[in-house]
Structure 1
Amino acid sequence: MDRPLRDALATQYGVPAESIREAPGGVANRAYALGNDLFVRIPRTPAFDQDLIKESTVIPVARAAGVRTPGIVAFDTTRALIDAPYMVLERVHGTDLVDTDEPSPAFWQEVGSQLALLHQVEQPPTGVHPDNGGGDPRPTVDQLATAGYLDPGTANWLLACFDHLTGLIPDNLPPVLLHGDLAQQNLMTHDNHLQALIDWGDAAWGPPGMEFAKLRLDHVLPVLRNYPHHEGLEASILWFHLSWGISGLAKPPQPGQRHWTAPPPSRLLGVLRFYASSPPTPWRELLSQKAQY
């Protein structure tokens, strides 16, 4: 942050200029601690302005539902201080999971309780649009096979898997309010307790199973212990892990990213790792011999 902007923020929010420190940010925003109690997020480019505007409507709704997320102190779109919209939030005193040891199952159960509250919201907030997670992955499987990323036998097996999983997912599942980026960098912890869910720029109105697509499947297991079960939930979660894993297979590497899904093969290797651990029912049956070609 340049000195004039730092000094302007310090004056505006009554904190010492030397207390403003950059924090690890995401793809969309630069992030800075403003002293001990405040935190500011500024879009990296104008392409991300709408995501921050969306957050300004989602955060109050999530908090009203009982979700642990920092409250908004100020949301400024005037561009008088910064040539971008920016948001000042209450500061969470904790660390994200990228920089901590593996939490216990109790932590993940807390995440499940928070998702249960969020997914009870009955109407999408302003600016939150429907999202089905990318649609049918089977054309992508065909394209990857044609391009040589998949051999024909594996492609046929994947198509059979998607057919099998689709048959297990009810057609009439109501959409829910999704955090949309439930990943390690957006889960704040302290003393093995969930402090907050942060970064709501990817919030969407979509299928419940899509919410779990950015968590490792071995973490999904304890999350679901405190999450209301419904028919086809595990099949839907696995469907998204496979679908998004396939869609990212031909993408170039992204070195330096903090999220575990950045390397192109990570999702598919995550599924392999999960199934190598002999997961419990009903997971182990989802990729059973029922998925034949």
Structure 2
Amino acid sequence: MHPGQRAADDDLVRRLVARQFPRWAGRTVRRYPSGGTVNALYRLGHDLVVRLPLTQGGAGDVARERAWLPRLAPLLPVAVPEVLGAGEPAEGYPWPWSVYRWLPGENPRAGALGAPEALAVDLARFVTAMRGVSLPGAPVAHRGGPVASLDRATRAAVEELRGIPGEAVDCDAALAVWEAALAAPPWDGPPVWLHADLMPGNLLVDGGRLTAVIDFGCAGAGDPACDLFPAWNLLPSGAREVFRAALGVDDATWLRGRGRTLSQALVALPYYRTTNPAMADNARHVIREVLEEHASAGHPRPRATRTKRGR
């Protein structure tokens, strides 16, 4: 998926574990299929999971989780990962890695939620709890800065999508939504604690209800709009309104949150379309949901403009 991505396999994990955590040596190791983009996951026996960063950029997330997860866990309403082993570079693997307790549950899937409105309430409770955290010294959340900081990458992604045959993205409508996010009043309050990556792959449910949130590698402080991702990457329109009402989101924050979610999807789609089907499909879903919401609010879709490519 990425330039410089590190190869990993079952044998490497066995050697790393045997060398650094001999109490777990001899356990079965098997790769766990995941649509994630930053880490490879390996089941270690039935109750543990090894998480190996795929790139040097992901290695920084390891330290963030080790530092903050133990302090965040007692303040949150659902389970979060528990670091049981702090692995270090060895066996030719160059970055720190971790062993976690395995958290049961399934990733929710947009369009196949058992109790979407109840899940919306659960998600709002989690986001509210994160915002209420008062731990000092919070790092800056990934993507937690001003919306304008995403402008160049967002516009570049839109232009790239214009040139990809077969991707039915209304790029002019997407730019209209993005412009609305840029025009929305910025967050003028203090930064709040955020998970900052509430994608379906980072949520676990059981019986349709939220049981755990994983992957805190992006967590930190920033604009509260950053944690509105589930509104468009997971929840149908009715549950989306439940989520918004439970959080008490004002119009400006909603516009910024929608723009941020759209930006992430626009950037992800051309990047992952041939390497990570789960991420690409989620991006298509987000773009579709955002543009439908924008149109249903009475905003006409812009007339298509002809470019040098004939579009």
TM-score normalized by the length of structure 1: 0.74
Partner Cα separation in structure 2 for residue 238 and residue 203 of structure 1 = 19
Does 2:20 align with 1:31? no
Assess, with a 3 A threshold, how the Cα gap between structure 1 residues 155 and 120 changes in structure 2: closer, same or farther. Answer: same
Aligned partner letter, 1:6? R
Does 2:67 align with 1:57? yes
Assess, with a 3 A threshold, how the Cα gap between structure 1 residues 52 and 4 changes in structure 2: closer, same or farther. Answer: closer
Question: What SS does the aligned partner of 2:278 have?
Answer: coil
Does 2:241 align with 1:238? no
Aligned partner letter, 1:9? V
TM-score normalized by the length of structure 2: 0.70
The answer as to whether partners of 1:32 and 1:40 remain within 8 angstroms in 2 is: yes
How far apart are 1:159 and its partner, in Å?
6.5
Stretch moving more, 25-34 or 161-170: 161-170
Partner Cα separation in structure 2 for residue 60 and residue 193 of structure 1 = 23
Superposed, 1:208-287 pairs within 5 Å as 208-213=224-229, 215-216=233-234, 218=236, 220-230=240-250, 232-245=252-265, 247=267, 253-259=273-279, 263=283, 265-274=284-293, 278=296, 284=297, 287=299
Assess, with a 3 A threshold, how the Cα gap between structure 1 residues 232 and 288 changes in structure 2: closer, same or farther. Answer: farther
How far apart are 1:92 and its partner, in Å?
0.6
Count of aligned positions: 278
How far apart are 1:76 and its partner, in Å?
2.6
How far apart are 1:195 and its partner, in Å?
1.6
Identity across the alignment (%) = 19
Question: What SS does the aligned partner of 1:41 have?
Answer: strand
Does 2:29 align with 1:20? yes
User: Is there any run of 5+ residues in structure 2 with no aligned partner, and where?
Assistant: 1-8, 164-169, 302-311
Partner Cα separation in structure 2 for residue 235 and residue 149 of structure 1 = 24
Aligned mate of 1:121, from 102, 119, 133: 133
Does 2:21 align with 1:9? no
User: Alpha carbon RMSD of aligned pairs, Å?
Assistant: 4.0
Assess, with a 3 A threshold, how the Cα gap between structure 1 residues 261 and 204 changes in structure 2: closer, same or farther. Answer: farther
Partner Cα separation in structure 1 for residue 18 and residue 64 of structure 2 = 26
How far apart are 1:117 and its partner, in Å?
0.6
Assess, with a 3 A threshold, how the Cα gap between structure 1 residues 230 and 58 changes in structure 2: closer, same or farther. Answer: farther
Task: Provide, for residues 166-195 of structure 1, a one-character-per-residue CA deviation record: whole Å limited to 9, x for no partner.
Answer: 554354133222212111111011222212
Partner Cα separation in structure 1 for residue 14 and residue 215 of structure 2 = 22
